[in-house]
Amino acid sequence: MRKSLLVLVLGLTLVACGKNDADADDRSSTRPTSDVAQGAITVTDVDNGQDRTLARGKKLVVLLPANPSTGYTWGLGELDQNVLRQDGQPDYRPDPNATATPGSGGTAVWTFVGDAQGTAHLTLGYARAWEQGIEPAQKFSLTIKVE
């Protein structure tokens, strides 16, 4: 009984510690964050399969719906990092509109920087790390032209 109560309290504490200052984006199920870099191009799940142009030195921010409590996470697939490089580690931001319920979803945030002129194909897959040889449950891709 005590152990269950401790697990419940720790879980609620973790959920309550999450903070996200997101503004609504009517185009997608994800929400861009207010601290996204100025001048960055932001894309969401509705931009899947499209082409984008990015100035050299500018940031590309990818916002995708995610729920790590299911075991699924977005992982980097194809990317020519000589043209478009990953900037830091991916971030996860809980949905600010969801009640403090364990297992509620949020947004995976990936940031990239245009490093050199050229074209890069970016792919991300939503999968469980321990399920080797299985196609991702979802895929996201963009073709980025860095000028």
Give the domain CATH number at 20.
Answer: 2.60.40.2020
Residue 63, beta-bridge partner list = 44, 109
The number of beta carbons lying within 10 Å of the beta carbon of residue 141 is 15
The tens place of each residue's pLDDT in the chain, 147 residues long, gives 445 444 444 454 444 444 443 333 333 344 443 345 567 899 999 999 999 999 999 999 999 999 988 999 999 998 999 999 999 999 999 888 877 677 788 999 999 999 999 999 999 999 998 998 899 999 999 999 999
Domain count, the chain: 1
Domain ranges, residue 87: 2-146
Place of tokens 């297992």: 103
CA dihedral 65→67→72→78, nearest 10 degrees, is 30
